Structure 1
Amino acid sequence: MTDPLDVLREPIRPVHPDPGFAARLRGRLERLVLGPESEEGRVSLTDESATTAAAALPLHTLTPYLAVPDAEAALDFYVDVFGAVRRGEPIVMPDGRIGHAEMALGDSVVMLAEEFPELGLRAPAPDAVSVSLRLEVADPDAVVERAVARGAYLERPVTDSPYGRGGVVVDPAGHRWMVSRAPADS
């Protein structure tokens, strides 16, 4: 008499579901998990970039959400200059504007979107920055130098002060960054 559990010892043979069924199931899951954006094919559960370590970062009590004139250019700047890591793919609205994107900076998340004047959402006006973002880095001199090389305006050169070493730049999207390193004794 054979053991009925012998079947469990056989090699696993993958079963490939009907492609139509798989597509319908994926669509239903995307609509349930991601909301209506997925119906337009803007977001996908199979995006590899959404599975990075940066995508697993939790949100903190306060998460900056920046308005920028060109989201792709801003993301490229933040990645190149500050070492940001993109979190997933940007959500592109039907009119082509980026309605939402995320990046990780250290242990924090920063969100951004392109301007939506019809909602009152605009990037800072030239010479009218209303918020400063303080970014702690290991080497403020190198970060400020990279920022200026990529088109940032140098508002204050890097200097030593009682609260650390740092400088201030305004990025090409109009946001003011206080790039700092705390004093060694803190």
Structure 2
Amino acid sequence: MQFAVGQNIVHPSHGAGTVIDVQNQELVEGFRRYYVIRFDGKRLTVHVPFRRTDEVGLRKVMSRSKCQDVLDTLRKLPKPLPSNFKERRKLIENLIHSGQPTKIAEAVRELNWRGEEKRLNTADSDLLAQGREMLIQEMALATGADPMEIRQRIDRALEASVQAKLAEQNRGVEH
């Protein structure tokens, strides 16, 4: 996939960024072309070889309609996470680093619910914050909305998920 200087893109590990340059670098085996991508929220710049964009998972920013899919995913009932720390962490990291917005939303929803049930450990808290920030940044780019507005939309969707789960639990107690 080709990207242009100034284009907003998404890197599966770093989130939303902007292609700020295309560079040729001379290596032993010849010249290689690289996308230079800046991630403003992290004060990070990454060089990705042209030939590895698919392998790395670089993609265009999600569409506006995909933003609605993300919010719908956040509103759904959370699924239980493994109680084993290593299993849980691997599952959540795989979802967050998948580069797929709805999978990131699943990880955020599940960790958010886990935080409602019990205190999150530091690793889970960090993964929750990372996933939320990835969604906020990409959805802001996709919609042109202010990141604070996106944060509020995400918070409302997560609150709806928590309320639905609590209602489900209360129905189970009543029967």
TM-score by length of structure 2 reads: 0.25
Ranked by relative contact order (alpha carbons within 8 Å, sequence separation 6 or more), the top structure is 2
Structure with bigger helix share is: 2
For the pair shown, which has the larger CA radius of gyration, 1 or 2? Answer: 1
Structure with bigger strand share is: 1
TM-score by length of structure 1 reads: 0.24
